[in-house]
A and B are shown apart, each in its own frame.
Chain A
Amino acid sequence: NAGVTQTPKFQVLKTGQSMTLQCAQDMNHEYMSWYRQDPGMGLRLIHYSVGAGITDQGEVPNGYNVSRSTTEDFPLRLLSAAPSQTSVYFCASSLGGNQPQHFGDGTRLSIL
């Protein structure tokens, strides 16, 4: 039982490049979410999903896209990377929005 798996762990991009951060969970959780963590700003919700085929915006969605074609996977796409998107990204899953969230190990993303 791996829990929540994020790949890659580290990534360096150039401004304007695109990439996809992968997130997979094996707990059959319906609820999945993406957060970014910046110093002094806590964890801010980017996008979330309450089940396959359903996604919605969080607090800071601009510049990011998500899709949820299966219960297990919830990839986060950066369309055109900007230095302001340098951050640590965490994926989480849970049985619901008012249930304990299980976090992945994070992806540390630097954009030059």
Chain B
Amino acid sequence: GENVEQHPSTLSVQEGDSAVIKCTYSDSASNYFPWYKQELGKRPQLIIDIRSNVGEKKDQRIAVTLNKTAKHFSLHITETQPEDSAVYFCAANDDTDKLIFGTGTRLQVFP
């Protein structure tokens, strides 16, 4: 079955710097790759997603890149702000369309 690995597990950056979180997946049939943000004590919320027919997608300060050959995708946050502090999860669907999540990255943005 699908296996999604996420790195790093924690990431600390200065306000205004960029943050990059990386994920790898194992199932070559995966075609949907969402990213979720979870603030402390809250529900996970979708922030951006990408499909396998696209290599990159941007939404303001957030971008996701996908390399299907290498089976990895990354979340890029530019000009980080304290409100970006949260846990971020990547996910990939498997060949039966179950969504498998990575183990999460705790991002801390220091002012």
Contact = CB atoms under 8 A, between A and B. Distances in A.
Contact of A104 (B43, B89, B91, B96): B43
Interface residues of B, number: 25
A42 B89 contact: yes
Chain A contact surface mostly: loop
Given A33-B99, A45-B98, A59-B100, A103 B31 contact: no
Interface of B: 1, 6, 9, 31-32, 34, 42-46, 49, 51, 89, 91, 93, 96-104
Interface in A66-89: none
Given A43-B101, A48-B98, A103-B45, 18 more contacts: A33-B98, A40-B9, A42-B6, A42-B89, A42-B101, A42-B102, A43-B44, A43-B89, A43-B91, A45-B99, A45-B100, A50-B97, A56-B96, A58-B98, A97-B98, A98-B31, A98-B97, A103-B43
Interface residues of A, number: 24
Contacts of A2: none
Nearest to A99: B32
Nearest to B97: A97
